[in-house]
Amino acid sequence: MNDTADCSTLGDKTALRRELRRRRRTLSPSQQKQAAITLCQRLKQLPEIQRSKRISLYLPVNGEIDPTPLLPWLRQRKVSIYLPVLRPFSANCLWFVAYRESTPMVKNRFGIAEPCSRFAADRRNRLPAWALDTLIVPLVGFDQQANRMGMGGGFYDRSLAFMRYQGPAPTLIGVAHACQQVATLPVEPWDIPLGMVVSDTMVIRPTKTG
């Protein structure tokens, strides 16, 4: 169900985040599983995914839609897979670290599994964000123009700030449950725009203007 709620009807952004996170947590395990399967079927059909050789995705928590059913398909295609890792000694920034079946994992301060610090600190296991082909990123909410609402920490916006300027850059694909769509979201100056949003029911690309 796509609700038409926005910040004006749900109060401020904190209240909107709380409501959208509640929506996705109300989905049953079977609904979550089916949504993940359908999402990954849609992702496989995207040219941006089919031609990617270096992809970052995430491990879901707190009801986030699960992109990991894509992993066997990516590995079969010899795609290099990366995960976002909290960068040490840096305010709310991310490293992108190789994720293999043998990668040693730990939980970070948010309870999210990520490659352990010793593995991540080895530069041979990392890739700069600009060298990735595609980033699949989680959303708290999205709207009809593919605007994204994240958790509020600014991790992706800070880590991808280079995309405001010309140069190599990955395609950003936001993914979410359909129930996380709202009519409109506020756009802040520091927001890094998405190339598209993919849910279990649709693909939304921003309308080009000018």
Residue 207 lies in a domain: no
Beta bridge mates, 175 = 138, 198
What sign results for the dihedral spanned by CA atoms 176, 180, 184, 189?
negative
Structural domains of the chain, count: 1
Residue 110 lies in a domain: no
pLDDT in tens, 45-60: 999 999 999 999 999 9
pLDDT in tens, 134-187: 999 999 999 999 999 987 677 888 888 888 888 888 999 999 999 999 988 888
pLDDT in tens, 77-93: 999 999 999 887 666 78
Residue 147 lies in a domain: yes
CA 81: distance to chain centroid?
Answer: 14
What is the amino acid identity at position 146? A
Do residues 6 and 182 make contact, with C-beta atoms less than 8 angstroms apart?
yes
Domain encompassing residue 170: 7-81+134-200
176 Cβ contact partners less than 8 Å away, ≥ 6 residues apart: 24, 64, 65, 138, 139, 140, 141, 142, 197, 199
Instruction: Enter the pTM of the model.
Output: 0.89
Q: How confident is the model at residue 19 (pLDDT cuts 50, 70, 90)?
A: very high
Question: What Cα–Cα distance (Å) separates residue 178 from each residue in 17, 52, 65, 141, 173?
Answer: 15, 25, 10, 9, 15
Is residue 118 predicted with pLDDT exceeding 70?
yes
Residue 123 lies in a domain: no
Residue 179 lies in a domain: yes
Residue 154 lies in a domain: yes
Do residues 197 and 171 make contact, with C-beta atoms less than 8 angstroms apart?
no
CATH code assigned at 63? 3.40.50.10420
